Structure 1
Amino acid sequence: MQYAAGRVQRLWQHQHFLSRRSLDRGLFSLGDRARMRRFAHKLLSGQPLSVTALGGSVTSGNGAYARRPEDQPLSVGYVKRFEQFLQAVSPEAGHVVKNSALSGVTSGVYSVCANDMVQRDADLVILEFGMNDPTDLAGFRRQERLGFERLVRKALEFPNRPAVVILNHYAYIIAGGSHNTTGDFLMTAENELDVIGQYYGLPLLSIRAAAYHLMRANATGFKSEHGRQKSSATSTHVCSAHPPSADPIHPYGKTGHWALADLLVALIQESALSLAQAPLGAADEAEAQEPVPEPMVAGNYHRPTSTCLLLLDFERMVAEQRGFEWRNERPDAQMAAQKWGWIADQPGAWALLQFDTTTNLKGELQSDENEVVLTHLKSYERMGRARVACESGCTCEDTVIDGYWEREASLTELHRFKATPHRECRVRVTVLRESSSPDGGHKVKLAGVIVVEGLFQAYGSDLDVMANLGSKEVPPLEKQRRRLAASGPSSQGVGRGDGGLQKGSQLGLGGRE
């Protein structure tokens, strides 16, 4: 097939920060080619593309700051830089690139809530978890790695059968590297994430493979100092004085983020070369539509339907109620900042929730009980308590939600309990007469329910901004979080609550922001 000469020319006009040798090393594995060939074909044909990026603070764009206004055009995060490349190749297409990353969050959260964070028509899903996922694991049957595998499987099965790419940042300084010490090559989750990617035939892109030896040699442009220790350069183009890092963790916008975008661009360019050798054909579509193979870890099957029912998706979970009202406590806000929930403020009010507590885990991974997470409002005034009890279908021990704390903040918190698997688990939440609030309040607000597949670590405030992210009109996660934080305590989720998981937890969540 002949593509428009202008698009082909613009495809090769991207200026790489990485050398050709580093690009060749950084394209660690091209994996199965069909899905990326389809992506490159759509780009060169001028068709609109849908891209979603999942990851932590690196994908959010941390480190991509500009010291001077004139530096801003080049000091951008890798997702934005990649979007600029796509728009430059086919500006008429109207590509949609959605950044659903959030600082400090691991792949475990996304493995549960991926259906609500990835655009349903995605053509490409980028997974960047080499920094946030833990490195001190032994074996692939640990819950942290099982969750990442389920995330890969879910992404591969989205309706458009998107290309799924693992992109790994490597922080040389965090790995112990400096101008006189050597960074540990093995200190990254990439070691095991890449094995999972190899099993599923995914493209694997690696900053470690591309530039480790340059960092170790303290080569020009890859020095182990980080950008905030250095004065501003005079050039608005690539300056060899710029280090690859803005701080010990995050890449700098004019170097490290550029290098990450380079790897994505180079992957598309390689796919375009493949199309020049053999045009896209029926064999590519057949390969893209092949069933996802059996799990790498036996029994690690995922549920195709969402187990993460938050905000608007939570309304239908209440099968019956008395005294509860479905209400938006921020009706004038844009969709991403609205605060929906089932709310009651009188003792004796009850809501009967019905949801599926089964998972698709098999064999040794299957459990007699699965964890359920109810998200609820916790605040410092007029808050009440509620009993949570399994009524039919499933069984569980009775527990109590307490919505009061002394902190002058209103945040979403997580109430966790174990329930036996059942397709129609019915759980009754009843507002109690007893109240911990000094003002004797009885307000109870339920905002979501999550049925956990394996281990699940998160903060309620993170789940607030993650809810319903499949919608194109919802802005990037980090923008939502910052806007909510700037507005001060609200009816739900402004920051991290003390009732959530603490730093230093099993997943180290929040320790790598």
Structure 2
Amino acid sequence: MRLIQLLLAVAALGLRQALATPTRSTLADGDPEFASAESGSGTGTSDPLHRLLAAARQYRKKHAASQMLQPKHISRALYHGDSERIRNFVRRMAEGDSLTVALVGGSVSHGMGATGGTPPFGGWLAGWLSEVAPPARPHPPPPPDGLLGLTAAAGSGATTGFVLIPPPGGAPQSCVRVVNAACPATPSTYMNLCLGEYLREPGAVDLVLVEYTVNDAPLPVPYMENESRKRGEGRGEDESRKSLELLLRKLLGLPRRPAVVLLNSYRWFSEYPLPSGRSSDGTYYNNPEGEFFEFATYYGLPLISVKAAAYHQMKAGLKGFRVDGLAAALRADPSAPQDQHFFDDPMHPSGNTGHKAMAELIIGLLIHTARGLVAQPWRPAEEAALSEPLPTHMVAGNADTRHDRCLLGPRLKAAAVEKQGFDWVNEGTNPLAPKWGFTAYKAGSSITLDFLSSASASANTSATTAPAALAASAGGSGGGAAAPLSSPGGPKLVMLLLAYLRSYEHMGVAEVTCEGGCLCGEAARTAYNQTVEAAARNETYSPSKDLAAAAGPAHTFDGHWDSPTSQLQLTCFPVLLTPECRVRVTVAKETKSGQHKVKIGGLIVVEAAPDAAKNMCMYNLEAAERAAGFRER
């Protein structure tokens, strides 16, 4: 009998301890954010984590009337992945360390849809941090060898990326700053190439929110290895997963080992019809989230799903989630409520509703992590896990690239090795939207661009890649100086994109040739194919006859069009690389406008996804325009 009593007493003690300690199941069953913050260690609010959770509970009570999502909605929308990196971020946030959250994505991350002074999700997050996290400390300066360790100095042409998002209403800055490194109207393919132009302080980034489920198209099944990829056909969407994987690996290899979170936004009004041809508006699965989940499980990345949290409320037509109209359509009527519809336009969430819900999901992930740290404090073994090498690439045939380049602003300026008649000119009048580029006005003017040199090479190929331990497992280039554009294993065919100005007046025609032994245009593709075929026969092919045949211009572009607008456009052509390859642009005598102005705003070299690069030329012209600063951001 005494033995039975003793066993019952031990069981009761264990039950009391279980109830006092938050676990993953209690986080999901009750309020995952604001169950008793003082439970667990018994230290009250003297412990940094308990102070953080207590402040979060007060924030929730203060703003309860405007809360978009209930705890169960937040719980079902979170996949936690490997926890070490996000736990490290929350632990350091609670202790008051100076941290940086970077938004990397498209127009949703950039803040579109949040109009009339309402914050985007980055602003809502900054507001929560202002009230919950410890106050700001001075942020250390970026390392001198950091990714694009530049500021937008006068005359540099630097116009992109890394813009601080302040807390709304002039609230004080917390120890965690939120910065916008997104670029509207661009897929992950573009950011993989030009990350260095947007993530300007890689040595100071601790959490990256990656948002591309709206900008990256859904793919046919099987989506990782489908026939269009094998044949190299299509518009290039089938290559975007390769680029997304390379982008994620670059982010995971940043100096502070940031937590990388997939923030999956949702678009009710879809532009992609179903195979039957009927509209896919309101279809739950007609976006690439399922494909992104593969990356989350493979790399252990936390994932946030907007549709998992909000879709059923949209279907029910609940307040704040309605999809029977758009907030923008009601804005002209001051008497119309502005908190009914989830979307401001067919693509972007509204600031007061959709953007706010996205912020609540991010906050939910942070608080869930904080409560997990209370239940199980940070361990030394987790510190070691931060430096573990990355696994090999998930997508078959994918590899970290050495040949991608993105030359905008100061890097484009540095790439000019010879020029006659071209000058580095800012034609903008708004200091927030400069219009830098190389500009010429006379026929016969020419400029030669060396996109191989270390002065012009994008930091994407150096500082963003993993250090030695990570690079060894990745099977690609690691840290150190940018790799030269040579190919020890044979010739390398890349796609080169030139951003040039098109306008309805003054514009001329330009001719493109390649120098230094490399080929441009269709001659490059022909020579590459013949080289590969010869290698398969154990033969050697010399492209000398192709060089002789390609003595004239390999490519031309015309800056004139009839539309009464002026904007940058992209023109694409293949290049068969050599170590000394350079591109020369010459203003032709031919002209439709009667004048000869030619302006070059950027140069991008694409190795990983040439079909996607052609797609960028055709469908993402606005990307080059914003990247080179032609629109106020």
Equivalent residue number for residue 92 of structure 1: 136
Q: Offset of 1:377 from its aligned partner?
A: 2.0
Q: Which of 301, 321, 331 is equivalent to 1:202?
A: 301
1:347 paired with 2:443, answer yes
After alignment, is 383-392 or 9-18 more displaced? Answer: 9-18
Please list every run of 5 or more consecutive structure 1 residues that lacks an aligned counterpart in the other structure: 67-71, 468-476, 485-513
Match of 2:574 in 1: 418
Structure 1 position 131 matched with structure 2 position 227:
no
TM-aligned CA deviation for residue 373 of structure 1:
0.6
The secondary structure found in structure 1 opposite 2:574 is strand
* Contact persistence 1:41–1:272 (CA under 8 A): yes
Q: Cα deviation per residue 1:110-166 (whole Å; 9 max; x = unaligned)? A: 222122112422211111222222124331142122222222122222222221111
- What is the aligned partner in structure 1 of residue 599 from structure 2? 445
CA distance in 2, matches of 1:147, 1:97: 25
1:388·1:399 contact (CA, 8 Å) conserved in 2?
A: yes
C-alpha distance in 1 between matches for 2:269 and 2:514: 50
Quote the Cα distance in structure 1 between the aligned partners of 2:210 and 2:243.
13
Q: Does 1:383 align with 2:507?
A: yes
Q: Give the match for residue 9 of structure 1.
A: 54
User: Which of 38, 42, 48 is 2:88 aligned to?
Assistant: 38
Q: Which residue of 2 aligns with 1:433?
A: 589
Do the aligned residues in 2 keep the contact of 1:116 with 1:306 (CA within 8 Å)? no
Change in Cα spacing, 1:443 to 1:18, as seen in structure 2 (3 Å) is: same
Q: After superposition, where does 1:23-422 map in structure 2 within 5 Å?
A: 23-27=74-78, 29-65=79-115, 75-88=118-131, 89-93=133-137, 94=173, 95-119=176-200, 120=202, 121-138=204-221, 139-141=223-225, 142-172=238-268, 174=270, 183-218=282-317, 222-226=321-325, 228=327, 242-303=340-401, 307-330=405-428, 333-334=430-431, 336-356=432-452, 368-397=492-521, 398-422=554-578
1:7-56: CA deviations, max 9, x gaps? 442234343421111111011x1111111112112221222222221233
In structure 2, what is the Cα distance between the partners aligned to 1:433 and 1:34?
A: 61
Contact 1:244–1:252, Cα closer than 8 Å, also in 2: yes
Amino acid at match of 1:59: S
CA 1:59/1:220 → structure 2, altered by over 3 Å: closer, same or farther? same
* Structure 1 residue 434, shift from structure 2 partner: 2.8
Seen in structure 2, the aligned counterparts of structure 1 residues 108 and 172 have a Cα distance that, compared at 3 Å, is: same
8 Å CA contact 2:517–2:581 kept in 1: the answer is yes
Bigger radius of gyration among the two: 2
Q: Distance in 1 between matches of 2:94 and 2:314?
A: 35
Question: 1:423, 1:48 → 2: CA distance?
Answer: 43
1:262-307 CA deviation, whole Å, 9 max, x = no partner?
1101111122123223433443332222223221113322347862
Shift of residue 372, structure 1, vs aligned partner: 0.1
CA–CA distance in 1 between the matches of 2:94 and 2:450? 47
Call closer, same or farther: CA 1:256–1:405 in 2, change over 3 Å.
closer
The AA in structure 2 aligned to 1:355 is F
Distance (Å, rounded) in 2 between the aligned partners of 1:361 and 1:143:
18
Query: How far off is 1:419 after superposition?
Result: 0.3
Instruction: Give the deviation of 1:378 after TM superposition.
Output: 2.1
* C-alpha distance in 2 between matches for 1:311 and 1:203: 34
Q: Secondary structure at the match of 1:337?
A: coil
CA-CA distance at 1:402 after TM superposition: 2.2
- Quick one: distance in 2 between partners of 1:235 and 1:431? 55
AA of the residue aligned to 2:83: R
Structure that is richer in helix per residue? 2
Q: Specify the alignment match of 1:466 in structure 2.
A: 627
Change in 2 beyond 3 A, CA 1:32/1:333: same
CA distance in 2, matches of 1:201, 1:4: 24
Question: Residue 245 of structure 1 contacts residue 256 of structure 1 at CA under 8 Å; is this kept in 2?
Answer: yes
Q: Is the 8 A contact 1:182 1:216 kept in 2?
A: no
Once residues 34 and 288 of structure 1 are traced to their aligned partners in structure 2, the CA distance between those partners, rounded to angstroms, is: 7
Greater CA drift, 298-307 or 129-138:
298-307
| Structure 1 residue 451 displacement after superposition | 0.5
Name whichever of 336-345 and 194-203 sits farther off: 336-345
Shift of 1:351: 1.7
Structure 2 CA distance for partners of 1:168 and 1:319, relative to 1, 3 Å: same
TM-score (norm 2): 0.64
Offset at residue 193 of structure 1 (A): 1.4
1:375 match: secondary structure: strand
Cα pair 2:570 2:624 within 8 Å, conserved: no
SS at the partner of 2:218?
coil
How far 1:4 moved relative to its partner?
A: 7.4
- Structure 1 window deviating more from structure 2 (226-235 vs 203-212): it is 226-235
Deviations 1:321-356 (A, max 9, x none): 2333223333x643x522222223333332221124
Q: What is the distance in 1 between the residues matched to 2:326 and 2:567? A: 35
Residues 420 and 213 (structure 1), Cα distance of their counterparts in 2 relative to 1, 3 Å cut: same
* 3-state SS of 1:18 partner: coil
Structure 2 residue identity aligned to 1:128: E
Q: Could you give the per-residue CA deviations for residues 48-67 of structure 1, whole angstroms, max 9, x where no partner exists?
A: 2222212333323333346x
Give, in angstroms, the shift of residue 393 of structure 1.
4.0
**For the structure 1 residues 464 and 313, does the alpha-carbon distance in structure 2 shift closer, same or farther, using more than 3 Å as the test?**
farther
Structure 1 residues 292 and 464: alpha-carbon distance in aligned structure 2, compared to 1, 3 A threshold: farther
Shift of 1:206: 0.7
- Decide whether aligned partners of structure 1 residues 220 and 339 sit closer, same or farther in structure 2, where only a CA change above 3 A counts: closer
Q: Please say if residues 300 and 361 of structure 1, whose CA atoms lie closer than 8 Å, have aligned partners that are also in contact.
A: no
**8 Å contact from structure 1 (residues 226, 248) kept in 2:** no
CA contact (8 A) 1:108 1:147 kept: yes
In 1: Cα distance, 2:622 partner to 2:315 partner: 39
Asked if 1:22 is matched to 2:121, the reply is no
Worse overlay, 416-425 or 5-14: 5-14
User: 1: distance between equivalents of 2:369 and 2:416?
Assistant: 48
Residue 470 of structure 1 corresponds to none
Q: Secondary structure at the match of 1:13?
A: helix
| Alpha-carbon displacement from aligned partner over 1:417-446 (angstroms, at most 9, x marks no partner) | 1001334321222222333322xx222222
Mapped to 1, the partners of 2:495 and 2:102 lie a distance apart of 28
Amino acid aligned to 1:416:
C
Partner Cα distance (1:267, 1:190) in 2: 18
Deviations 1:355-397 (CA, angstroms, capped at 9, x unpaired): 24999999xxx99521001112222333332221111142123
CA distance in 1, matches of 2:355, 2:182: 15
Q: Distance in 1 between matches of 2:506 and 2:335?
A: 54
Question: The residue matched to 2:68 in structure 1 has which SS?
Answer: coil
Q: What is the root-mean-square deviation in Å for CA atoms of aligned residues?
A: 3.4
